[in-house]
Chains A and B, each alone.
Chain A
Amino acid sequence: MMRMEHSSIEVPLRFTIRRAAALILGLAAVVVIAFAASARFGEQPISLSIALADPTSTDAAIFWSLRLPRAVLAIIIGAALAASGSALQGLMRNPLADPFVLGVSGGAALGATLAIAAGLGSAAQLAPEPLRAALARLSAPALFAFAGSIGATALVFAGGRVQGQSSPYALLLTGVIFNAFASAAITAVKALVNPEKLGEILYWLAGTLGYENAWTLALAALLQALAIGTMWMNAGKLNLLMLGDDDAASLGVSVGPTRLVLLLAASLSVAGAVALSGLIGFVGLIVPHVLRLWLGPDQRLLLPCSAFGGAAFLALSDLATRMLFSVFHTELPVGVVTALVGGPFFLLVLHRRRVGSLSPSWL
């Protein structure tokens, strides 16, 4: 942190390019470590030297085709959920906001539930072309989840407009109501389907990371780079929006368009994540919160750090589910691990912060 002397008072500046670069590089290193661990370890012990030397070996197949794509997916999803969670907490001026607050969870879950209930998607032959394979993979619950979350967000935007302006309060309320509606509709579908499909629906709703092909991963990475990049680019304006609409406007922010761009980027990011992973909770709520307690509220710093922190957190949580396979003979949904680990960790951080804040130190 940069401290400069200015006529007898010491000035702490929490956002400087140097500090931001150092923090981001540090967190990027954590992501690399988490990624390496996630690719190196798993349900079965593998030998890296065999995997690298003999591409036809089982070790190579496990390493290149299972672990690497899954570690990449964990990083993409974790970054998307935490970055959009950070942006939405700022936009809604509500610390309880999470990536699913704008009806995205309800829309995605309803879409996926309908796709599963209607029996879409089968264990039929693989489509030969890589392009078709990727689309065929997205054709079942994933595609419907994406469409559902985009549709829900559009609906919430339309419903959350008050006198032609989208107020955070109205958006929040509309999102909550839509999620409640979707949850009721899902309960209705669950009551009507057979047990096999019910199991599938419950598994999807719990949130899991599967194996995606390179094409899908590249598409997801591109989408998230665009969405997170857009949010980060507007992070300075987001800081001003956090003070209130009128404050932001009087400081030169075009409130309506800026908020729309940020909301769209966040929604797109979440929709892209949810389509591939289902509803993985807690990452988007906990990671920005913990980092805010450490780094302060500045979104120029918080947003990219949340992306890296979320990526590392989800990669390590997924590693934990796979390491626990030998205990449970199944992978726990990764959303279960993020909640079980993240909840107590957050409470611990919050408690220590509260105790620590009794001593004179700025937030």
Chain B
Amino acid sequence: MPRADPIAKFRTLRSGLRLAASLLAMVPIRDGASALDAPIYLGPKPPANVRRVVTLAPSLSETVIALGAADRLVGVSRFDEFPEVSKLPRVGGFLDPSVEAVLALKPDLVLVQPSPGNRQPVEKMAQLGTPILALRMQSVAEILGGVREVGRALGLSDRAESVAQSIERSRAAIRARSAGDKKVRVLFVYGLEPLVVAGPGSFADELMRDAGAVNAAQNVSSPYQTYSAESAIRSRPEVVIVAADDSSGAEKLSRLPGLNQARWVKLQSKDLLHPGPSLSRGLEELFDLIHSTSLQHPPGSR
């Protein structure tokens, strides 16, 4: 699980720190990643008929909406922008949910993305009698598992199964379209100043493989890796996909030898940035960007 490892250099330090923490706290520290990968329930068991749902991340709201249960949502995070939830009360962010605001909505179920950052408030909610379902939604497998788990919790398993299968179908279709083609070397850029690229283990990396591309940034240790201009040249991309909001720094980079031969394209939607059930749309866009033959100028130039 490369995702769970922050940085290779920290591995030794991490085990040492963990040992120290175990000794000091006199409790066995569980491996965070293995506990987080599978969906887990905290607090009391949710009722059989869940009517009031609070979500703490847009991807989780999207999942509920995809299951046709938007009317059960009673509160969402402050980052949610879907029209279906625009009128709902905000209960804070992914890392800073307000326990008080969540409790006041008297939810039957709270959907959260687990993280060390929101552990304390989420545990508090569970402790005070709010059923919690913690789901990681970072990889395709986690998204599929999450859709099915939310479906089970909301009594919409059939609907969830069809959503999951449609995702699988569109992945298979995209894979089939690119099968046999030569693999395109793609550098996926999240940010330009500093340069941050998608490494192995990122959602974009997974979808690039489906779309018949090979991630040019292979020798990096983190899913969101800070990258040097030298490494970018050395990675010899054929296509550079810029997902940064502000692409003003692209012009300078795109003139560098090695990078000026690549085709520079700008990502239009945010489906590739926020893992969720809309990944089929993101995959379509990615395929088009990679396999488009029309010549595109680097964003920001001329």
Check A-B contact in the complex, CB < 8 A: yes
Segment of A15-23, A83-91, A189-197 in the binding face = A189-197
Report the Cα distance A331→B222, complex, angstroms.
30
Contact B117 A196 (CB under 8 A): yes
Contact B21 A115 (CB under 8 A): yes
CB proximity to B under 8 Å, residues A107-146: 114-127, 132, 135-140, 143-144
By a CB distance below 8 angstroms, the chain B residues around A322 are: 100
Contact with A along B91-131 (1 / 0, CB 8 A): 11101101111011010000010111111111110111100
Report the Cα distance A191→B99, complex, angstroms.
31
Given contacts A123-B115, A138-B25, contact A192 B9 (CB under 8 A): yes
Report the Cα distance A203→B118, complex, angstroms.
11
By a CB distance below 8 angstroms, the chain A residues around B129 are: 61
Total residues of chain B contacting the partner, CB 8 A: 57
Q: Answer yes or no: B24 CB below 8 A from chain A CBs.
A: yes
Shortest Cβ distance from residue B19 to the other chain A in the assembled complex, whole angstroms: 11
Name A118's contact: one of B18, B24, B25, B91 (CB within 8 Å). Answer: B18
Name B6's contact: one of A117, A125, A329 (CB within 8 Å). Answer: A117
CB proximity to A under 8 Å, residues B63-99: 78, 90-93, 95-96, 98-99
Shortest Cβ distance from residue A212 to the other chain B in the assembled complex, whole angstroms: 9
Name A66's contact: one of B14, B27, B99 (CB within 8 Å). Answer: B99
Q: Answer yes or no: A298 CB below 8 A from chain B CBs.
A: no
Q: Answer yes or no: A200 CB below 8 A from chain B CBs.
A: yes
Report the Cα distance A127→B28, complex, angstroms.
10
Name B116's contact: one of A121, A126, A330 (CB within 8 Å). Answer: A121
Report the Cα distance A38→B174, complex, angstroms.
56
Total residues of chain A contacting the partner, CB 8 A: 51
Shortest Cβ distance from residue A133 to the other chain B in the assembled complex, whole angstroms: 9
Report the Cα distance A230→B134, complex, angstroms.
45
Report the Cα distance A127→B18, complex, angstroms.
17
Name B120's contact: one of A44, A194, A211 (CB within 8 Å). Answer: A211
By a CB distance below 8 angstroms, the chain B residues around A116 are: 116
Contact B27 A135 (CB under 8 A): yes
CB proximity to A under 8 Å, residues B40-59: 40, 42
By a CB distance below 8 angstroms, the chain B residues around A127 are: 27
Q: Answer yes or no: A185 CB below 8 A from chain B CBs.
A: no
Given contacts A116-B116, A200-B116, contact A330 B93 (CB under 8 A): yes
Contact A123 B13 (CB under 8 A): no
CB proximity to A under 8 Å, residues B7-45: 7, 9-10, 13-14, 17-18, 21, 24-27, 29-30, 32-33, 35-36, 40, 42
By a CB distance below 8 angstroms, the chain B residues around A123 are: 35-36, 40, 42, 112, 114-116, 118-119, 122-123, 134
Report the Cα distance A196→B119, complex, angstroms.
13
By a CB distance below 8 angstroms, the chain A residues around B36 are: 122-123
Can you list 18 A-B pairs with a CB-CB distance of less than 8 A?
A43-B104, A62-B104, A119-B33, A119-B116, A120-B18, A120-B116, A121-B119, A122-B32, A126-B126, A127-B27, A135-B27, A143-B24, A191-B226, A203-B95, A203-B96, A329-B91, A330-B98, A331-B98
* Interface pairs A-B: 8 shortest CB-CB: A139-B25, A329-B78, A122-B32, A44-B104, A329-B90, A123-B114, A200-B117, A118-B14
